Amino acid sequence: MNIKQVGYFVAVFETKSFTAAAHQRNVTVQAISKSISELEQLFNVQFFERGNSGVKPTRAACSFYAKARNAVEAYREVENFDPFGCDLTVPSASGAQAMPELSIGLCVPALDNDDKLYKGLSALIMRGARVRVKFCTVHPGIAQQELEQGDLDALLTVGTYDNTNDDCEQLGTLPTGIVVAAGHPFAKRPFVTVADLSSYPAGQSAAFDNFNNSIFWQYESRGVLGETRIIDGPAQFGSFLVAEHGFFLNAILPVPGQIASGFEVVPIAGKGALTVPVCLVSLKDEKPQAYHVVENYLIRMVGCANGSAAR
């Protein structure tokens, strides 16, 4: 028995019709009939008497419905569980305690579906590290201020960040790639090489106005890029990529998202390809235990992502 069969049973019981239940569940009548037959065989009882005007539940069906309805509702609650809408607690020797929380700002361009992305990352860390982490995208221009004001506990940056007030812990390295519009000549390639970038028309590469721009400067120092520019906002980002057919250098982040609809991320591979550090930046104050737990968890996460990309 599985929850789908139980759900089909509830639908038939409440609609008094196999056809109506099938419409409600968006499946075929055959699927409903098969599930009901399997349940009847499992319990060796008849749940419904079939007739021209529909089905009539038996006494066994009425008894089973009381339990089945509760099971379906409970499963739906589990399916729709939102870890951010409840007061999660963790057990301890002295009793239940509130789960510790951290706020981390990602210094990256805005991502599509970032709410879904951040919930996924938070749930992953919550399961593995038992710490509730709230992620958000933060513009580099105000990131340090939010850190010092206590609005954020830490920042995730691509590239190292040198500030005398901060600790910068390298979590690992990430492979690099380019972001291009869907109509760009590089968009459909599985990867590009440094030679491809070198031969592309000058003036078509850019970097965001970030803390360090380590990807941008490392490639430029190798003479790979021609004329370049700094992009300091989303509007310029879109215009540069779409209207001017440029490319934007970026790390390939270990997240299930994309930069924005209509754009592609293409890895840089082969000779001359670089990896860049991804860092967790925090104030030099003493950190809570939850911070160190999350830091260690992120080190493992970045390490796994980099290993997968290398393979």
pTM of the predicted protein model: 0.55
- On the question of pLDDT at 126 being above 80, the answer is yes
Neighbours of 13 (CB within 10 A): 20
User: Three-state SS for 164?
Assistant: coil
Tell me how far apart the alpha carbons of residues 20 and 12 are, in angstroms, rounded to a whole number. Answer: 8
DSSP H/E element including 295: helix 289-310
Q: How many residues does the chain have?
A: 311
Short-list 46, 259, 223, 48, CA closest to 137: 259
Tell me how far apart the alpha carbons of residues 66 and 10 are, in angstroms, rounded to a whole number. Answer: 9
Q: Which residue has the higher pLDDT, 186 or 84?
A: 186
What is the pLDDT, as a whole number, of residue 311? 33
Contact 193, 268 (CB under 8 A): yes
Mean pLDDT of the chain: 78
pLDDT tens-digit map of 201-244? 644 555 554 444 556 656 666 666 666 666 665 566 677 778 77
CA angle 25, 28, 32 (to 5 degrees): 70
CA angle 134, 140, 142 (to 5 degrees): 80
Tell me how far apart the alpha carbons of residues 217 and 25 are, in angstroms, rounded to a whole number. Answer: 55
**Domains of the chain from N-terminus onward:** 3-76 (1.10.10.10), 99-171+278-310 (3.40.190.10), 174-275 (3.40.190.10)
Mean pLDDT of 253-263: 59
- On the question of pLDDT at 103 being above 60, the answer is yes
DSSP H/E element including 3: helix 3-15
